[in-house]
């Protein structure tokens, strides 16, 4: 039902109805954001790239094939932008300590550390499921619909991801 409504809104957007964008954005932005965040590992950069993703997607909307995975299509655009961003940043020599201020004495929430740990120990799919369910607040069935995976797979991968993180945190606590 949700997928059909999303497809109708995409068709309306293709036809020039700008009001349909709000619905499309609301239903897709979190999954796309976390796909980008997985690559760039920086919240501010991920937010900037998310905006760029939607700008690019709107320009290329005529290339989207109706009935395919629109969220996946957007995530692919976002990941490509993120990979290009990383390559550009690698060529620059500047060091930005504010990006990792939490490592240098700032007691801002330990969430950046948990995100970094999750990115290290989890597969991309596990990370995406964990972020959708734990951070973005989606229910597992909603995450399953977004990712077009069976609910059982999402539940299993979610639980496995939590176990992996718990084991890593326990290891670090013992060290």
pLDDT tens digits for 119-137? 889 998 898 898 888 877 7
Which residue shows structure tokens 């201020």?
101
Q: Are 26 and 54 in contact (CB under 8 A)?
A: no
Give the whole-angstrom CA distance, residue 151 versus residue 158.
10
Give the whole-angstrom CA distance, residue 149 versus residue 95.
40
* Annotated domain spans of the chain: 1-94, 107-175
**pLDDT at site 67:** 86
Architecture of the domain defined by 107-175: Orthogonal Bundle (1.10)
Note the pLDDT tens digit of each residue in 52-76.
Answer: 999 999 999 999 998 888 999 999 9
Q: Does domain 1-94 have CATH number 1.10.1740.10?
A: yes
For residue 173, what pLDDT band results from cuts at 50, 70 and 90?
A: confident
Residues recorded for the chain: 175
**pLDDT at site 45:** 93
């Amino acid at each position: 039902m949700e997928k059909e409504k999303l497809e109708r809104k995409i068709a309306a957007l293709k036809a020039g109805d700008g009001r349909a964008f709000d619905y499309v954005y609301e239903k897709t932005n979190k999954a796309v954001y976390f796909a980008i965040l997985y690559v760039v590992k920086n919240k501010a950069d991920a937010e900037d790239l998310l905006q760029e993703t939607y700008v690019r997607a709107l320009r290329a909307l005529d290339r989207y094939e109706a009935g395919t995975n629109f969220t996946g299509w957007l995530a692919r655009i976002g990941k490509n932008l993120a990979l290009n961003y990383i390559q550009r940043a690698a060529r620059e020599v500047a060091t930005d300590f504010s990006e990792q201020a939490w490592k240098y004495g700032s007691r801002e929430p330990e969430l950046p550390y948990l995100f970094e740990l999750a990115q290290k120990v989890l597969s991309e799919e596990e990370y995406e499921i964990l972020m959708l369910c734990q951070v973005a607040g989606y229910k597992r069935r909603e995450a399953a619909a977004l990712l077009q995976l069976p609910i059982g797979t999402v539940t299993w991968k979610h639980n496995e991801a939590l176990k992996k993180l718990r084991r890593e945190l326990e290891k670090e606590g013992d060290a």
